[in-house]
Chains A and B, each alone.
Chain A
Amino acid sequence: MKSILLLSLPLTLAKGSQKPIVESENAAWTLPHGANPAQIDKFRPDAQNQFKCLSSPYTIPYSLVNDDYCDCPDGTDEPGTAACSYLNHTINPLPGFYCANKGHTPTYIPFSRVNDGICDYDVCCDGSDEWMGVGGVKCEDKCESIGREARKIAAEARKLYEQGVRAYRSLVAKAVLLKKEEEDKIVALEGEIVRTKGLVEDRKRELKQIEEEEKSKMATSGGGKGKHGQLLDFAKERVKEMKEKLQRLKDEREALQGHLDETEKILTTFKEEYNPNFNDEGVKRAVKAWEDYLASKTSPSTDTLDFLTDVQAMLFEEVNWEEWEPEETILDDMYAIEALLPPFLRSWVHGQLSSLHDWLIESGVLAHRKTRSSGGSGTSPKVQKATDALANAESDLSSKESELSRIREDLSKDYGADNVFRALKDVCTEAQSGEYTYSFCHLGRATQKNRDGGHTHLGDWTGFERRLDDEIEEEVLVVKYERGARCWNGPERSAYVYLRCSAEEKVLSVAETEKCVYKYVATSPAVCGSGDGEVPVPESQDEAWSP
């Protein structure tokens, strides 16, 4: 609101065109209602018995202070009434009406609550906000009892906090031990890995030796075509076989694709045509599941389309076998025949199509068929044995390496201050709220359980952040659980656990603050090291006013 009109009055008065109406006697002067005693000098009338507006350059006759009419453009002439409550918050430098609350903690109450006929004891235990007694209201001073109660509660909270700090220290000690364990594991694993690497090298050498032995055997035995010819025949046969398999799988894939298209079409129509008002839980669940399914589908990438084209091309590609007719020293090249279907492609194509096949069997779309034996290989037992030995060694190495990297990653993770959450790993807490039981596990999962035992996944631990806990008006540590089960018509569920310090792991409350976003308020000793949730014992003396 423009303040043209507001500016005008003090301006004219400040020019001294008028005499003060009422001569106030300094001896009888008292601090105006609602003003903080710390500002006593600012509220004292000047020699001319004028009041200077606190943040605007105007003065007004002192008699206009707290006369229930807003004169100062910044509203500071009415520290004790609601007359200036219409001003935007940012204009008035006074935070509100100052309740002295003798016997408890002094505080400010917004001007909008002053003289409205309601005793706001939760803020002004002394009832001073209703000093004008509008509508006949009388608010007696309840600071003694309210203050006593508050101090009792605060003392209890303090006790809990102190216990929490002790619990925190032992958690930290435990976390140090756990971390040490992991570090020790690293040292041990590193040694093992060096040893295993040596073993792998040995196995490789052995295999190479055996292969060479076998090759020379092959080259010197066999029919008219020689080993090369045999291999060529073998390769032709394998390529043919591959093509057939590929074709078969492609056909199966297309047939299944047809089934799937049809099913999806049915479901799409179902979703479009069902009546959402009909509120049939079964139908809603089905539609939701369908929507989740659609949402989790990746859009087709051109790469995949290219891949399918490649498969198609491969089926029709003919190998010019003549090029591969034996020449003189071609022995080594013989093995390169596999390049016709590069091994990784061959295995991958197989892998992809057979896993698709498996998936379809699992989901009941396809009837189960007996797996083919992987026989027909032309490898000799000796080579096979050496190959297996190498594979074992390699797999041992890789599992050790991955264990090592897992531990290293774990050690580099944020487990909170002093790694304290390491000590709470998999510790779970739960509480009933409404018709559900809500639980969360440190570094694990948050879950909503309903009465009939069903579980809804609210999210997995993803880390920490600091947020304002608006109940206690403090920034606290929030543990995030994200990417839970997707909501009907909504996002993936997530849960945020606002932690306050206490010796006990306990869920205080759970609320769905947003659709599918859950807010837990919980206590844990894990945050007792950072001062979170620390409850200061209320002081009974006045606190200094700071602008």
Chain B
Amino acid sequence: MRLLQNLLSPASPGAGGLTVLLLLLDLITPAATVKHENFKTCSQSGFCRRNRAFADDAIAAGDKWSSPYEVKEDTIALQNGVLTAEILKTVPGLQEKVVLPLTIKFHKTGAVRVTIDELKRQKGEIELKGQSKARKERYHETERWALVPDWDIRDEKVVYDNRKGQITLKFGPESKYKAIVTANPFSVKFERDGETHIVFNDRGLMNVEHWRPQPPAPEEGKEKSPEDLDGGWDETFGGNTDTKPRGPEAIALDITFPGYEHVYGIPSHATSLSLKTTKGGDGAYSEPYRLYNADVFEYIVDSPMTLYGSIPFMQAHRKGSSVGVLWLNAAETWVDVVKEKPKKILPIGGKSEDTKTHWISESGLLDVWVFLGPDPATLYTSYGALTGYTKMPPSFAIAYHQCRWNYVSQEDVKDVNKKFDKHDIPYDVIWLDIEYTDGKRYFTFDPLTFPDPMSMMKNADKTERKVVLIIDPHIKNTENYDIVDELKSKDLAVKDKDGNIYEGWCWPGSSHWVDAFNPAAFEWWNSLFTFDRFKGTTKNTFIWNDMNEPSVFNGPETTMPKDNIHFDNWEHRDVHNLNGMTFMNATHQALEARQDSKGRTQRSFVLTRAFFAGAQRLGAMWTGDNEAKWEHLQAAFPMLLSQGVAGFPFSGADVGGFFGNPSKELLTRWYQSGIWYPFFRAHAHIDAKRREPYIAGDPYTRIIREAVRLRYALLPAWYTAFHRASQDGMPILRPNFVVHPDDEEGFALDDQAYLGDTGILVKPVVSEGVETVDIHLGDNEVYYDYWTYKIYQGKGLKNYPAPLDQMPVLMRGGHIIPRRDRHRRSSGLMKYDPFTLVVVLNDKGNAEGHLYHDDGESFDYQKGHYIHRKFTFDSATKSLSSTDLHQDPPTAEAYNKVVKSLLVEKILIVGVSKAIKASVLAKSKNKATILEDGKYRKASMVYTPAQDNTFGDTLLIRNPKVRIANDWTVYLDKKDAGGAVKDEL
């Protein structure tokens, strides 16, 4: 009866019937995650499958295996720092050997480039399948895009010695580097100081799939020809068939790092900084790392799966040494990593394992750069000398960016702007995703929601804020759209395999893609961004390039067919990983070319999703569409550290997580973490709830505000770190192993980092409900809590309290940190504010730091209009002095006048040593003596003792008013400075 009464309750009989019917069903599916089936595994990618099998066979054969490549000794020649020779490949069943021209180039910095081509293809003596218009050569233009224009500076002093099938080349600084080429089978060993650091073809896995005509299908019952490679002539995946007009053409090489237990780099993967092995086993991956720029929807963490961008640079590191390789190939690439106990004697400092890697690319040259270190800093500098250093960004670009898909109208934008000010949270840039356009036509604004974009730009500009607009490479294929009309009429789009304009689907529906490999496309693209042409934009408008892998919704693996044809008839296969960077490059150049009414230009800011080695010269990247989950917050730091290692440190992850809705705790922790991302932007999916920092309410909003303010206070330190990256490639956010290259316990650490040279060590909280964290100290130097000056000392793990409103931040002794403490609405409005110098003394009572400063927007810094200071605190003289690091001081004079009014308002010395304290308190009467412009004056000092010996004491110099552009010295205990000393409090 109970049952029936309950059932009698439905309000309407219809609903009752429906209920009865549906009650038995429960078909609600679990939440979606990455669509694995949309992306290939190695075994689904013919050339990867073939080369992995080749490697398995070679390894299984053990000592019986012989690599079929041999240097033909009478072809060897050395001229102007370039060695040339022919490698012969023996093919079973073929009389004729395949000729593979070898080039070894020696770069001035000590880097070496080994290139292997294929003679028949160089000469064009091959037949293509079908009517293909594709080029016959192996693609050799990667260097044109990836390397700096003047990369080819040779080491002319190479010493060459050829005996008994072994060629020894001495090169590099003081000729301490050696490359030993063994002729048969071909291998190359790279030595530094008598130790082997890198070996090519150590395991005999080298493979150059030479061109061959497609063998006829085998007769029934007969085995197919060994030349008929599996998946070599066409390949179907997800309903798309790749016609492979040149047949199989993969190249592969094994590269061994003897005695190196850790390898880093080859971003972008959502994985640890120290790369895991890929051939199965505990905690290891079973797939190789894949580099094939792709729009991976809802990507998963802890995976070697490919992501949006790729940099084929790998660093191997051990105590006492760091070396690296750049695999200069932009085709689809897979990298296997294994670690094995070495058979041979260990090099000094080497651990018990060798790291052995196996690189496989689908097409193009076998082209590898080797860098012999010897330490991380030198390695990054020599890698950057080739691929370029981080572009000096406009200063707003390193402040806080507020993004969302989408701010729906210009009123919405103004409202968000107003609310940030109301809640006193600084921000510099507001972003507009695709919905601002008129029907996804780039270079237009929706007339209903953004009828007057100029007023929106001006409103932002009132407080020196910027607007970033998204412009993607897919151009809507529609009527009455001048951009697509020009794209077609000027013939600047990517073609399909038959040479017709390629049509695919993306946000606008049917679209065409700009071919930024075409120089004419660059020119055209430049013309689209002028203020006259792109109506509604002005000098505070900048650009975001998304979807440039390229993302093609209906393409294979959500990208372009590999047999598409680019400018000069290169196949998309050859250039895929370069594609995004060329597009970004076009946008970058277009923005730099924009001129205001007075003809002035300014630095560009472009954010890209796809990238390749060299993209650091053009702008910033972010890690793509992450999720509002703790594991994605955890994944961000290792990913960004990896970007730094690979020379592209201007990187960020979407704060808050793109997909989904973060809890208030997650959002708050993400901000506390995000303020340490070189590129600091919050972003959210269109289906996610609004989550601007003022929405959560206190205490969350208050905590987020304090975090963002810390980022702003430290902007001088960030800008200085960017400057260093722009000069010598040092990462901005540095992992423990870079700062402490001999701290073996910290080689795999990727959840804490140092900010530039400031000695600021952060370990963001990335787990839910955490109250404390353990910070690893990489040395025995003294470290102070950023706020309380509590002392942390002694190598190893230190426990740090980290409730929600506290960020684990330490200051390492021996550094001087430049800050600007005053709170403003945007970084642009801080331009007249004074600086604070925090002098954190080391165990010996010394400290050193740097400050780089310029106008933050123009190119005048290239003319010398900048300030670059070195601050030194010397315990012997008890003085802090500022000296000039400017490369050409006379060129700075004009700018020095401009910044004459920029002063230091506060000098805070942390960890005052007993000797200094005693002497200062005895002699100085709480007055510091300042020497500036040849004159002496005084400033008040306040000594604050530590509450006990677990804290640092401080000495504050009040308002010394020294100019940041000047040389000056502040003496703590100078009693008499000779003559009249002006008192100044």
A→B interface (CB under 8 Å): 1-2, 4-5, 7-9, 12, 21, 61, 63-64, 67-69, 71, 82-83, 85-86, 88-89, 110-113, 115-118, 134-135, 253, 256-257, 260-261, 264-265, 268, 271-272, 275-279, 294, 297-301, 303-307, 310, 344-345, 348, 351-353, 355-359, 434-435, 470, 487-490, 509, 511-515
Q: Is the CB of B823 within 8 A of A9?
A: no
Q: Which residues, 249 to 284 on B, are CB-close (under 8 Å) to A? A: none
From 933 to 966 in chain B, residues with beta carbon under 8 angstroms from any chain A beta carbon are 940, 942-944, 947, 954, 956, 958-959
Cβ contact within 8 Å between B3 and A306: yes
Partner of A5 from the list B830, B940, B944 (CB cut-off 8 Å) is: B944
Q: Which residues of B contact A276 (CB under 8 A)?
A: 32, 297
Question: Is the beta-carbon distance between A304 and B956 smaller than 8 angstroms?
Answer: no
Asked if A435 and B448 sit within 8 Å, CB to CB, the answer is yes
Contact A112 B4 (CB under 8 A): no
Rounded to whole Å, the gap between the CB of B811 and the closest CB of chain A is 13
Complex interface: chain B residues within 8 A of A294 (CB)? 27-28
> Counting CB contacts under 8 A, is B18 at the interface?
yes
Minimum CB–CB distance from B79 to chain A (whole Å) comes to 52
Q: Which chain B residue has the least Cβ–Cβ distance from A302?
A: B3
Give every chain B residue within 8 A of A63 (Cβ-Cβ): 985
Chain B residues with CB below 8 A from A134, complex form: 832, 901
Distance A134 CA – B824 CA, assembled complex (angstroms): 14
Q: Which residue of B lies closest to A349 (CB)?
A: B4
In the complex, the chain A residue whose C-beta lies closest to that of B14 is A359
With A352-B17, A434-B408 known as contacts, the answer to whether A303 contacts B7 (CB < 8 A) is yes
B693 to chain A, nearest CB (A): 15
Q: Which of A118, A275, A301, A355 contacts B13 (CB 8 A)?
A: A355
- Alpha-carbon distance A512/B686, docked complex (angstroms): 12
* Residues on the B chain within 8 Å of A4, using CB: 788-789, 944, 947, 954
For the complex, give the distance between the alpha carbons of A508 and B943 in Å: 59
Q: Is B787 an interface residue (CB 8 A)?
A: yes
Quick check: is B876 within 8 A (CB to CB) of the other chain? no
| Residue B20 CB within 8 A of the other chain | yes
The distance in angstroms between the C-alpha atoms of A352 and B21, with both chains bound, is: 10
Query: Bound state CA distance, A508 and B16, in angstroms?
Result: 43
Q: Is A21 within 8 A of B27, CB to CB?
A: no
Asked if B977 is an interface residue, CB under 8 A from chain A, the answer is no
Whether B3 lies near A303 (C-beta < 8 A) is yes
Task: From known contacts A352-B16, A434-B448, A435-B449, infer whether A2 and B462 are also in contact, taking CB-CB under 8 Å.
Answer: no
Q: Which residues of A contact B412 (CB under 8 A)?
A: 511
Name B19's contact: one of A89, A113, A298 (CB within 8 Å).
Answer: A298
Report whether B21 and A257 are in contact in the complex, using a CB–CB cutoff of 8 Å: yes
Q: Which residues of B contact A304 (CB under 8 A)?
A: 7, 19-20, 23
Known: A85-B823, A356-B20, A488-B687. A8 touches B4 (CB 8 A): no
In whole angstroms, what is the CA distance A245 to B526 when docked? 78
Asked if B690 and A514 sit within 8 Å, CB to CB, the answer is yes
Question: Residues on B close to A: CB < 8 A?
Answer: 2-4, 6-8, 13-14, 16-29, 32, 35, 38, 295, 297, 408-409, 411-412, 415, 419, 422, 424, 448-449, 462-463, 505, 507, 509, 551, 553-554, 558, 686-690, 706, 709, 713, 787-789, 821-825, 829-833, 901, 905-906, 908, 926, 940, 942-944, 947, 954, 956, 958-959, 983, 985
Judge whether A355 and B558 touch: CB under 8 Å: no
Question: Which of B18, B23, B553 counts the most chain A CB atoms within 10 A?
Answer: B23
B942 touches A5 (CB 8 A): yes
The reply to whether B411 and A509 form a contact with Cβ atoms under 8 Å apart is yes
A515 cross-chain contacts in B, Cβ below 8 A: 686-690
Partner of A83, one of B822, B825, B908, B944: B822
Do B985 and A21 touch (CB < 8 A)? yes
Query: In the complex, which residues of chain B have a beta carbon less than 8 angstroms from the beta carbon of A113?
Result: 824-825
Nearest first, the 7 closest Cβ-Cβ pairs linking A and B are A356-B17, A300-B23, A355-B13, A134-B832, A8-B944, A86-B821, A85-B823
A8-B956, A278-B505 known; A348 vs B4 contact (CB < 8 Å): yes
A268 touches B29 (CB 8 A): yes
Per the bound structure, the CA–CA distance linking A496 and B262 in Å amounts to 57
Contact sample, A vs B, 14 pairs, CB 8 Å cutoff: A110-B424, A118-B462, A257-B21, A264-B27, A276-B32, A294-B28, A297-B22, A298-B23, A304-B19, A305-B24, A356-B20, A434-B448, A434-B449, A515-B690
Q: In the complex, are the beta carbons of B558 and A277 less than 8 A apart?
A: yes
A102 to chain B, nearest CB (A): 24
**Cα–Cα distance between A88 and B787 once the two chains are bound (Å):** 14
Query: Which residues of chain B have C-beta atoms less than 8 A from A348's C-beta?
Result: 4, 7-8
Q: Least Cβ distance of A267 to chain B in Å?
A: 8
> What is the CA–CA distance of A253 and B21 in the complex, to the nearest angstrom?
8
Among A8, A116, A434, residue most surrounded by chain B Cβ atoms (within 10 Å): A116
B23: chain A residues at CB < 8 Å are 298-301, 304-305
B822, A86: Cβ atoms closer than 8 Å: yes
Knowing A303-B3, A304-B7, A304-B20, the reply to whether A279 touches B507 (Cβ < 8 A) is yes
B547 nearest CB across to chain A (Å) = 10
CB distance from B271 to the nearest CB of A (A): 24
The distance from the CB of B432 to the nearest CB of chain A, in whole angstroms, is 14
* Interchain CB contact under 8 A, B943 and A355: no
CA distance A9 to B3 in the complex (A): 79
Q: Please give me the residue from chain A that is nearest to B558 by CB atom.
A: A277
B713, B787, B958, B983: the one within 8 Å of A86 (CB): B713
A277 to chain B, nearest CB (A): 5
Does the CB pair B688–A8 fall under 8 Å? no
Shortest distance between the CB of B67 and any CB in chain A (Å) = 43
Query: Which residues of the other chain, A, contact B462 by a CB distance below 8 angstroms?
Result: 118
B831–A117 touching, CB < 8 Å: yes
Are B687 and A490 in contact (CB-based, < 8 A)?
yes
Please, how many angstroms separate the alpha-carbon atoms of A258 and B689 in the complex? Answer: 39
Q: Is the CB of A5 within 8 A of B27?
A: no
Pick from A89, A275, A488, A511: contact of B415, CB under 8 Å: A511
B832 contacts across to A, CB distance below 8 A? 115-117, 134-135
In this complex, what residue of A is CB-closest to B10? A352
Provide the residues of chain B in CB contact with A7, threshold 8 Å. Answer: 944
Q: Which of B26, B449, B709, B944 has the most CB of A within 10 A?
A: B944
The answer to whether B14 and A277 have CB atoms under 8 Å apart is no
A539 to chain B, nearest CB (A): 23
In the assembled complex, how far is the CB of residue B109 from the closest CB belonging to chain A, in whole angstroms? Answer: 43
Cα distance, A512 to B833, chains bound together (Å):
38
Q: Are A278 and B553 in contact (CB under 8 A)?
A: yes
- B residues near A352, Cβ cutoff 8 Å: 7, 13, 16-17, 20
Which chain A residue shows the least CB distance to B959? A69
Which residues of A have CB within 8 Å of B505? 278-279
- Residues of the B chain whose Cβ atoms lie less than 8 Å from the Cβ of A261: 25
In whole Å, how far is B919's beta carbon from the nearest beta carbon of chain A?
A: 19
A430 nearest CB across to chain B (Å)? 16
In this complex, which of A12, A112, A514 has the most chain B Cβ atoms within 10 angstroms of its Cβ? A112
Q: Are A69 and B905 in contact (CB under 8 A)?
A: yes
A139 to chain B, nearest CB (A): 13
Pick from B3, B686, B822, B942: contact of A82, CB under 8 Å: B822
User: A514–B21 Cα gap in the complex (Å)?
Assistant: 35
Q: Which residue of the partner chain B has the closest CB to A490?
A: B687
What are the residues of chain B within 8 A of A69 when measuring CB–CB?
A: 905-906, 958-959
A515 to B405, CA, bound (A): 11
Known contacts A275-B553, A294-B28, A348-B4: A112-B687 contact under CB 8 Å:
no
Using CB atoms, name the residue of chain B closest to A353: B17
Q: Does A21 lie within 8 Å of B3, measured CB to CB?
A: no
A351 to chain B, nearest CB (A): 6
Chain A hits for B958, CB < 8 A:
9, 69, 71
Cα-based distance from A434 to B25 in the complex (angstroms): 41
Contact call A279/B3, Cβ cutoff below 8 A: no
Interchain CB contact under 8 A, A8 and B27:
no
Q: How far is the CA of A115 from the CA of B823 in the complex (A)?
A: 12
Chain B: which residue is nearest A110 at the CB level?
B424
Question: How close is A373's CB to chain B, nearest CB, in angstroms?
Answer: 20
- Across-interface contacts of B688 in A (CB, < 8 A): 515
Given contacts A8-B942, A264-B27, A300-B24, 12 further A-B contacts (CB under 8 A): A1-B787, A8-B956, A63-B985, A85-B823, A261-B25, A301-B6, A304-B7, A305-B23, A355-B17, A359-B21, A511-B408, A515-B690
